[in-house]
A and B are shown apart, each in its own frame.
Chain A
Amino acid sequence: MTVSAAPTQATVKSETARAPVRKNRFWSWLIFVVGALYFLVPLAATFYWSLRAEKDKFGFEAYRRLFADTNFLPSFSESIVNAIAAILISLLIIVPTAYWVTLRLPKLRPVIEFITLLPFVIPAVVLVFGLIRLYSRPPLLLTATYDSSRILLVCVYAALSFPYMFRAVDNGLRAMDVRTLTEAAQSLGASWPTILFRVIFPNLRVALLSGALLTFAIVIGELTIALFMAQHTLGPYMANLTRSKVYEPSAMAIVAFAITWAAMGIIQLIGRGQQGQIAGGH
């Protein structure tokens, strides 16, 4: 009797121990479902609406009309070029800065972090009026022509990307022993550009891609700044579209979502392949 009593008690104990886990799971699932509905219902409704362009029929007519619009592809391609240019500028500023702060000036990190966070703090409207005021008179007259305004816009986008880019790069740098890798490369005769381009950049691939794709996702649909600078990018195009069309804005929203999701998917895919290499380096 005594012998059989022990396992029974153990079973009871383990059942009691499992109960809170189940309870926790229920709440986790509930939060997940509510969150998913909050996100998916409007998306599904938008998608549903984008398929209703033809009377009494589901189809991709709104998408066809969107891509057939002569203004769509130029504004879309202009936004893509702006995004790529902003990414390059941001990379060239942030990577050497974050690298140097990690390597030689760690005490400056809080200051740099604060500076990179400024685009979050300053509202876009305030930012754009400040910029227009500053750059609409000599010696920095950049708002005179469409192209010069575009250069200014790209620079602003680069600045807007700093919070994402700096954090992504900084996390990447913290994940590797930057100082020792730099010294190892130096002892083997490498110059600073060689160290940056052959050692640091390749090992930051995932971090750089994360920063770049987040920047891309932000820039591609940006409205406020582009509108005030009278640029024909995707943001203002979408705003115009909502004023004059019914179904195409929904189709446009779904296309923009697809692009952003594709960007996120690429980060995940590349990140998965790179993890082992970084971890193994230490």
Chain B
Amino acid sequence: MAYLTLSNISKQFGDTYAVQDFNLDVEKGEFVSFLGPSGCGKTTTLRMIAGFETPTDGAIALGGADITNKPPNQRKMGMIFQSYALFPNMTVAQNIGFGLRVRKDSKADIQERVREMISLVNLEKHAEKYPYQLSGGQQQRVSLARALAIRPDVLLLDEPLSALDAKIRVSLRAQIREIQRKLGITAIFVTHDQEEALSISDRIVVMYDGNVEQVGTPFEIYNFPTTTFVANFVGSLNTAVAEVTDPAKGLLSVNGVQFSSAAKMDGLQKGDNVRIAIRPERFSFASEVRKANVVDCRIENITFLGSVVRVHMLIGNSSFTMDTFNYPSLELPRIGATEQVTCSREAVLLLEEVRANGHEPKL
């Protein structure tokens, strides 16, 4: 039985559903991220777990017990906010000890636990400082220590890194993951940053418009997106409408250019239109290596992105991009030249929900 279970959760604000029929099982010690654009319902779901919002329908269970209507102050969930939410009138040590004082732990226990937490987040020198005397990263570490001090059943993180600059964000997310692993605590992390979700999570729940689009490991989400939204939201993606030419052999045609796919085409027939997806990094020049699909393309533009070079090309009448590593001896074609690019059969994905019979799929 899962540790945290969300069963058919919905949340309605007026006539609008912020979250609809959300189901999720989280195992003890697991790190799950809710990933999606603004307004997709990820924060609302987190707030329902925390108890700040009550679901319109459905149930939330923790360790087998129903907590759907339990007040937030009785749920034992540590919460970390984007704006840190440290109490301005208290020092770092007092902030960390707040939850322990509220539940009336002994003075000695509080002191010991606060010392332990301060050392966990490496803020020993700042124990007596007020929040305004700390940097953003330090304040968020205090917030983490404060949430962990009460030994919560679940740690909830609501975009905790969004207000920090890029370098601190990367180091703090590594620190959060390390501490979560060390303590074996169950964590739910809300973010709109795909890189953050991919790098930190055991599993990712990709959400869009109040619905779960896909649940999977970072590897699954990136390499095997099951919906157009996931494919587009997580990483860059080339998509094109293709006509099935031989479903048994996995052959498709994009404006007359033939592609071979390893995707299952059960139920598809010759002449059906589907949408295919190919990640830019799965293409390479055929002069370097030849894979199952070798197609002609016209080079439209070349963009340098630091470690990566992005090649914009036309295959048939469809625009595609190819990402290739940048290295000093890289020989790039000239713009307007005709080249051959290649990709494997596995690189050609079929987005399942857009399979349509005899006419172009709606997207």
Contacts and interface: CB of A to CB of B under 8 A. Distances in A.
Interface of A: 176-177, 180-181, 183-191, 194, 198-199, 202-203, 205, 276-282
Task: Tell me what chain A mostly uses at the interface: helix, strand, loop, or mixed.
Answer: helix
B72 interface: yes
Interface stretch (B10-18, B73-81, B197-205, B343-351): B73-81
Interface residues of B, number: 32
Contacts of A282: 83
Given A187-B75, A198-B98, A205-B89, 7 more contacts: A184-B87, A187-B50, A188-B78, A189-B73, A202-B89, A203-B89, A277-B88
B328 to A, nearest CB: 47
B52 A183 contact: yes
A106 to B, nearest CB: 15
B14 to A, nearest CB: 13
Interface string B305-332: 0000000000000000000000000000
Given A188-B102, A276-B132, A281 B88 contact: yes
Interface of B: 50-52, 71-79, 81, 83, 85-89, 98-99, 102-103, 130-133, 143, 146-147, 150, 156
B52 to A, nearest CB: 6
A187 B131 CA distance: 19
Nearest to B47: A183
Select the residue from B72, B89, B156 with max chain A CB neighbours within 10 A: B89
B72 A183 contact: yes
B146 A177 contact: no
A186 B83 contact: no
B98 to A, nearest CB: 6
A188 B98 contact: yes
A184 B102 contact: no
B174 to A, nearest CB: 24
A25 to B, nearest CB: 35
7 contacts: A187-B73, A188-B78, A188-B146, A189-B150, A190-B102, A281-B88, A282-B83
B188 to A, nearest CB: 13
A187 B79 contact: yes
Contacts of B103: 189
Given A194-B102, A280-B130, A187 B72 contact: yes
